[in-house]
Amino acid sequence: MRNSSSNLNIRPEIVTRVVENLLKLTSHGDITTIDVLAEHSMVSRDVAFEVVSRLLGKGFNVNDVEVTGDVRLSIVLECIRDGAPAEILARHVSWKDFEAFSARVLSEYGFNVLTNLRLRVSRKRSEVDVLAAKSPIVLLLDCKRWGAVLSGKRLSCISESQMRRARMFAEYLSNMLGKGEKTVEIIPVILTLYGSSKQVESGVAIVPVGLLGNFVEKLPEIKYDLERIKAKVGSALDALFKRQKE
């Protein structure tokens, strides 16, 4: 986003509506026009143009508006920062983009990030959606881009599964880096689109995507309320990321 949407002389709910329709109309690589966007958003052409020009820059082609890949993520990220509802905008990115969106936020907070890390320990297999490390903390994120608030038995099952995955990752980490004297704290997290009935379930943090940055900022204070699986490893975490990216 070239300039913050909060600087627009347009009501925030209208900006959100225009952005939501922009994401809808350009999903799957589709192209739209300012006139079509204005019609779908029920706003004037000038309002639609002003919103999009702030997102894409004034040099965009009004008859050939395309929003793909990282640009979609940038738009969602910046609009959420400006106060747009995460649950409205984040639903218009793909599953892979949702993971990449999360990775991007964590990277901005200084974490080393991997996505879709495949684990194999003692013939058991699993996959980590997003792994974020800033020594000695490792966040193990399971991204749930579901169209409903997580609660009840479903929430319990997801949390238990993520806890098992975290324990498996601790063993995987020791295998990869060797056992030693460096202590790593693995914190399992469920990242949701719509939120949850709880902030913590069985020691697992339940974090709405729009509050991921806030969660990271408060982590030094709240981590003691969360399950932290400690592992003793022989090498720094950087070695794991270097090996995975080679």
The confidence band for 246, taking pLDDT boundaries of 50, 70 and 90, is low
CA dihedral 205, 207, 212, 215 (to 10 degrees): -40
Q: How far apart are CA 238 and CA 46, in angstroms?
A: 49
What's the confidence (pLDDT) of residue 71?
83
Co-location of 54 and 129 in the same domain = no
Is 156 in the same domain as 38?
no
pLDDT for residue 114 is more than 90: yes
Q: Which residue has the higher pLDDT, 30 or 240?
A: 30
Tokens representing 11 are: 């009501």
How many structural domains are present in the chain?
2
115-128 tens-digit pLDDT: 999 998 888 899 99
Of the residues 93, 128, 143, which one is the last residue of a structural domain?
93
Domain of residue 11: give its range.
5-93
- In this predicted model, what pLDDT tens digit does every residue of 61-113 receive, in sequence order? 999 999 987 788 788 878 887 888 877 887 887 777 778 888 888 999 999 99
pLDDT at 32: 97
Mark whether 182 and 84 lie in a shared domain. no
Residue 46 shares a structural domain with residue 105: no
pLDDT for the residue numbered 221: 93
Tens-place pLDDT, residues 219-228: 999 999 999 9
Quick check: 203 pLDDT over 90?
A: yes
Residue 5 pLDDT > 50, yes or no?
no
Q: Is 226 left (phi over 0), alpha (psi -120 to 50) or beta?
A: beta
Query: Are residue 103 and residue 72 in the same domain, yes or no?
Result: no
**What is 139-159 written as a DSSP string?**
EEEEEE--SS-B-HHHHHHHH
For residue 89, give the CATH number of its domain.
1.10.10
Q: State the pLDDT at residue 99.
A: 83
Q: Helix or strand or coil: residue 167? A: helix
Claim to verify: residue 28 and residue 120 sit in the same structural domain? no
Per-residue b or e along 161-190, where b marks 16 or more CB atoms closer than 10 Å to that residue's CB: ebbebbbbbbebbbebbeeeebebbbbbbb
Same domain, 121 and 208: yes
pTM: 0.77
Q: Residue 150's pLDDT is what?
A: 77
Reduced to 3 states, what is the DSSP secondary structure of residue 159? helix
Identify whether residues 105 and 183 lie together within a single domain.
yes
Residues 149 and 176 in one domain: yes
Query: 1 falls in which pLDDT band (50, 70, 90)?
Result: very low
pLDDT of residue 147: 61
